[in-house]
Structure 1
Amino acid sequence: MSPTSGPDVINGWKIVTTEETVVESYSLETTMTVTTEYSDGTKTQSKTCTTTKKDSSVVTGLTTKQVHSVYGQDISCISKQLNLMLKDNSLAADYLPVDEVSLYTGMLDGILLCAMVNLLQPDTIDLSAVTRRSDLNNCPPENAEQLKIQNRNLGFCLLKPLGVSIDSLKVQEMLEKGCVFALTSILIQVLRLTTIGRMNFKEHEVLVYLFDGWSNPEEAREILATGREEMLLRWVNYQMKQAGTDLEVKEVGKSLADCSIYANLLWAVCPIAKRGALMPIGDVLKPDSFVTRAERVISNASKLNIADVITPQHIAHAGEETDTIAGLHRVSLNAAFLYSIFSSYPNIKVPKMKTPTPSTDADAVVDESLREQLRSWCKRGATEETLIRWLNSFGPSDPVQSIESDLCNGSVLLQ
């Protein structure tokens, strides 16, 4: 029995995957224990799944029941999110739409890993560099397995500088022993990077208008240091003020469970012409059951063409068991849902520029010029792109996406 382990860090969480191998007659039984730890090393919870195989190739006989027994509906929700994000991705075309099983199959083939690279950074991998699914199916099994390994190694190699923490040797060893769920931490990280990770000035310049009362470059640089999750929460609280409510959210957690934030948020961002189709806030919150409320929230979101990428249970139990794998996934899925609402309906008031006069209008123009300076600082060239990839190759707990904003608090440099 030989245990191995190694950490993946996701925004302050350390995901340690440990596997033990037991050889019995002609079968190789592999037990994967996924343990969630805080970054300070305090163990909090573990979960176990078992897969059996009879040869040295990667196990592909995964079933929906097995995925649900370990992760519930989490992977189903991630699959829905990826179907939306990968719909125009040429590398992913052979697998779409993915479900809980085909998602892992595509990652085992290495092709979906490469598709995720191009999702995070378009055109990073040329199609000719990847062995496609049809070619894998038309070659001998032993050759196909080697080609899959090459695809996976290409994906692992290029995901890491884009901010995905991977111990590729450990993951490959575990895959060879049947531990397909060793790929789950990659899914969670890609989900966060493609949702909450895009909550920054570079992706959405309109976020500048969430900040008032600053008037000099020093204050602007402090604004640039705002974390991704903090930016998302600032936007939610901005909408609460616009809606005339004193509700406030301080973290993606318990404050979302009763659906008051979600109900008011969807009403606030909804164009007035579409509000007639929505269930009013009072009706959404009328049931005592948080699950029923969450069902109504998701129904309202669907009426606004906001993707159904979360279950009522994920909302109703937000903030519970945050020291467990299930709790971590709920946080990520709620953050992704909030980002989906934001990306569909930012609803941020952009002040109109006026011709300056000797009075107060001049102050408004100065204020706008500072905002323009802030936006210009968020743009980056090829040299900065290279530096960002180099910094991410060290596996910082918070992936670097902007030199100006992500290095301001010094945590990445200290790591």
Structure 2
Amino acid sequence: MSRTTVDLSHEQIDELVAAFQTMDNDKSGYIEASELQSALELVGMKLPGYEVRDLINQYDSKIKDGKLDIDEFQNLYSKLRREKDFGIKYKKQVVTRQDIETHGGTSHASVEGTTHTVKKAETTAFAEWINRNLKEDPDCKNLLPIDPETDDLYKCVRNGILICKLINCSVPDTIDERTINKDEKISVYKMHENHVLALNSASSIGCNIVNIGAQDLMDGKQHLVLGLLWQVIKIGLLSDINLMNHPGLVLLLEEGEEQADLLKLSPEQILIRWVNYHLRNAGINRQIQNFGGDIKDSEAYSHLLNQISPKDSGVTLAPMNENDDTMRAEAMLCEADKIGCRSFVGPKDVVTGNVKLNLAFVANLFNTYPALVPPEDIEFVEIEETREEKTYRNWMNSMGVNPFVSYLYNDLKDGHVIFQLYDHIKPGCVDWNKVVKKFNKMRVNFEKLENCNYAVELGKQCKFSLVGIGGQDILEGNETLTLALVWQLMRGYTLSLLTKISGSDSPINDKAITEWANGKLKEGGKKTSLRSFQDTSLNDSRAILDLIDCIKRNMVNFDLVKDCSNEEERLSNAKYAISMARKIGAKVYALPEDIVEVKPKMVMTIFACLMLKDLQVNKQQED
């Protein structure tokens, strides 16, 4: 997919692809220009015929023989989104389908003028998922069950407890439970703290929280609540779809591929292969390419369920006896219910090809019944993502890069993600005319190398230390050298924020951060200090907790801080320190183990983020 003038989210692209494939009935890879109006309706953009014709005429030099390919469809959609008067011109023309509601008689419009619609299907799906996964949690007993047919979901997330719990459900131990304000009746101030904790914790696991604030969640702004919930749920559903957790995935390798090639596939691509593997085993002449148009008739789902279900579950192919698509979808979901997997989708979501909810449905099936027995004679290659790699990947994804980064070394090879990160560090530094956005099949490797060379050149312009690192190293996925560049991107971004808010004429460096920390600790009457980010005394987290207390008094409960006589107590302190840092508003990506082991790079980011928060607090007080 080529980069357009407007960055689209992963979910938006999924919906565009699904709409395109729905209209592309003959699977030619094109849709007729005359079908553009209907295709735009499928992505929630209803325009009168004359405006669609004008749009095509403005773009006619790129549309061959009255047909559009997927890139042209995406570019036209982006063109509409970037129109300055979009919110005014088309506000009253946004399509209202049965599965979409505009609540309260008005639309939820952002400051950019984009009209937001709230999908009732998603509200229902997420409410049911939360009910199922948090029903045993004692802290949620007064919030659950949520009535999925009402707006209860948006009321139940108001105090922040539910979102914190859901984050821990998706990625265990992300939030230290001791830092959540759990009282049955908590003040608005404490609710706000919970949401700040939730948002910064969500960011640390790779959620993009740009334009989502704590007050938005407290106010129950529905499109923002749904957007955050979907990201958290999706990360949880897809996080274990890898060779480490499911060795049987080797069965999905195609001829000539090796185990390492699975890392090049996104979880969505792996799930499509998984479905097709079971369809082949079922002996039917059917394969899918997406979770939109290809699953609408429920045939693939019916055979998949029949293949993966335990023999004594009673699951059958009875749905195939139904002639009506909706009735067949309902019958298929009844079969899924026999194995406890009727989640996320209703019959309407299947027959309309809701990509988001169908992806969640299939991911849940995989996690529950993968039905992949690895060959006994195969030698497995140990491929496990390191903590450092995970931290960088989560940071990138939280920045809203597109495409979503699933595997660091493969997903950076074309340079596109790296350029987006440079643009965040120093807006305007990337000359996009030098970037190859859409690759020629005959020159793809050469063009990717051009991008990677330019990425290294930009790093040198940003004063990165890139001795011995060339574009070829990024293209080949050299782990050591790629990590060296990525670390400097993350460090550069953090320091650029510090420099900007401090008003300093020269860049902030490690020494300045250390001096600030020691000065703040001394000013606050604390006995702790640090010599550098390699100081082994930092492993008990006391200096970090003292610093948090200096930035925001009375937030830290020192009765919960351990004496650190052993590793377990040090880890307990580190977990508490990181969650407390996030609770006061510091966007920390490091993990507790980084503190205990005193990993200088990650420790530096913690102090830098705390310094940034302190400067922000001071600036707010001055204003």
The TM-score normalised by the length of structure 1 is 0.69
Match of 1:186 in 2: 228
Match of 1:30 in 2: none
Whichever residue aligns with residue 265 of structure 1, its letter is L
Q: For residues 404-415 of structure 1, what are the structure 2 equivalents within 5 Å?
A: 404=409, 406-407=411-412, 410-415=415-420
Contact 1:310 1:333 in 2 (8 A): yes
126, 132, 147: which is aligned to 1:99?
A: 147
Match of 1:312 in 2: 347
Structure 2 residue 373 is matched with structure 1 residue 349: yes
Displacement after TM superposition at 1:296 (Å): 0.7
* Farther-moved stretch of structure 1 (292-301 vs 6-15): 6-15
Query: Structure 2 vs 1, CA of residues 42 and 116 (structure 1 numbering), >3 Å: closer, same or farther?
Result: farther
Q: Which has the larger radius of gyration?
A: 2
Match of 2:289 in 1: 250
Query: Aligned pair count?
Result: 331
Whichever residue aligns with residue 417 of structure 2, its letter is V
254, 257, 263: which is aligned to 1:224?
A: 263
Which ranges of structure 1 fall in alignment gaps of 5 or more residues?
1-5, 16-33, 53-68, 137-143, 319-329, 354-367
278, 303, 307: which is aligned to 2:315?
A: 278
Structure 2 residue 395 is matched with structure 1 residue 386: no
Structure 2 residue 153 is matched with structure 1 residue 116: no
Displacement after TM superposition at 1:74 (Å): 2.6
Q: Percent identity?
A: 24
Contact 1:210 1:348 in 2 (8 A): no
For the residue of structure 2 that corresponds to 1:108, the secondary structure is: coil
229, 234, 239: which is aligned to 2:273?
A: 234
CA shift digits 1:288-320 (9 cap, x unpaired): 2111101110111111232343211111221xx
Q: For residues 133-152 of structure 1, what are the structure 2 equivalents within 5 Å?
A: 133-136=183-186, 144-152=187-195
For the residue of structure 1 that corresponds to 2:304, the secondary structure is: helix
CA shift digits 1:75-129 (9 cap, x unpaired): 1122112233334556545433333444322322111221232123211212221
Partners of 1:213 and 1:312 lie apart in 2 by 36
* Farther-moved stretch of structure 1 (306-315 vs 82-91): 82-91
Displacement after TM superposition at 1:406 (Å): 4.6
Query: Structure 2 vs 1, CA of residues 408 and 78 (structure 1 numbering), >3 Å: closer, same or farther?
Result: farther
Partners of 2:376 and 2:398 lie apart in 1 by 42
Partners of 1:38 and 1:119 lie apart in 2 by 35
For the residue of structure 2 that corresponds to 1:309, the secondary structure is: coil
For the residue of structure 2 that corresponds to 1:387, the secondary structure is: helix
For the residue of structure 1 that corresponds to 2:78, the secondary structure is: coil
Contact 1:161 1:391 in 2 (8 A): no
Contact 1:110 1:148 in 2 (8 A): yes
Contact 2:157 2:220 in 1 (8 A): no
Partners of 2:80 and 2:138 lie apart in 1 by 41
Q: For residues 4-403 of structure 1, what are the structure 2 equivalents within 5 Å?
A: 9-11=9-11, 13=13, 41-43=78-80, 45=94, 48-50=102-104, 70-87=118-135, 92-100=140-148, 101-136=151-186, 144-168=187-211, 170-172=212-214, 174=216, 179-196=221-238, 198-214=240-256, 219-274=258-313, 277-279=314-316, 281=317, 283-318=318-353, 330-353=354-377, 368-369=378-379, 372-373=380-381, 376-377=382-383, 379-400=384-405, 402-403=407-408
Query: Structure 2 vs 1, CA of residues 120 and 402 (structure 1 numbering), >3 Å: closer, same or farther?
Result: farther
Partners of 1:255 and 1:243 lie apart in 2 by 17
Contact 2:249 2:374 in 1 (8 A): no
Partners of 1:87 and 1:310 lie apart in 2 by 20
Contact 1:8 1:14 in 2 (8 A): no
For the residue of structure 2 that corresponds to 1:262, the secondary structure is: helix
Whichever residue aligns with residue 306 of structure 1, its letter is C
Which ranges of structure 2 fall in alignment gaps of 5 or more residues?
1-5, 16-42, 46-72, 82-93, 97-101, 107-116, 421-623
Displacement after TM superposition at 1:213 (Å): 3.1
Contact 1:161 1:392 in 2 (8 A): no
Contact 2:251 2:374 in 1 (8 A): yes
Whichever residue aligns with residue 177 of structure 2, its letter is L
Contact 1:7 1:14 in 2 (8 A): no
* Farther-moved stretch of structure 1 (176-185 vs 38-47): 38-47
Whichever residue aligns with residue 399 of structure 2, its letter is F
The TM-score normalised by the length of structure 2 is 0.48
Partners of 2:292 and 2:217 lie apart in 1 by 33
Question: Larger helix proportion, structure 1 or 2?
Answer: 2
Partners of 1:234 and 1:83 lie apart in 2 by 30
Contact 2:44 2:95 in 1 (8 A): yes
Query: Structure 2 vs 1, CA of residues 174 and 344 (structure 1 numbering), >3 Å: closer, same or farther?
Result: closer
Query: Structure 2 vs 1, CA of residues 211 and 315 (structure 1 numbering), >3 Å: closer, same or farther?
Result: same
Whichever residue aligns with residue 237 of structure 1, its letter is N
* Farther-moved stretch of structure 1 (6-15 vs 233-242): 6-15
Partners of 1:177 and 1:99 lie apart in 2 by 19
* Root-mean-square deviation (Å): 3.3
Query: Structure 2 vs 1, CA of residues 414 and 222 (structure 1 numbering), >3 Å: closer, same or farther?
Result: farther
* Farther-moved stretch of structure 1 (258-267 vs 120-129): 120-129
Query: Structure 2 vs 1, CA of residues 382 and 92 (structure 1 numbering), >3 Å: closer, same or farther?
Result: farther
Whichever residue aligns with residue 199 of structure 2, its letter is F
Contact 2:253 2:259 in 1 (8 A): no
Partners of 1:7 and 1:172 lie apart in 2 by 24
Partners of 1:178 and 1:114 lie apart in 2 by 15
Question: Larger strand proportion, structure 1 or 2?
Answer: 1
Partners of 1:381 and 1:119 lie apart in 2 by 21
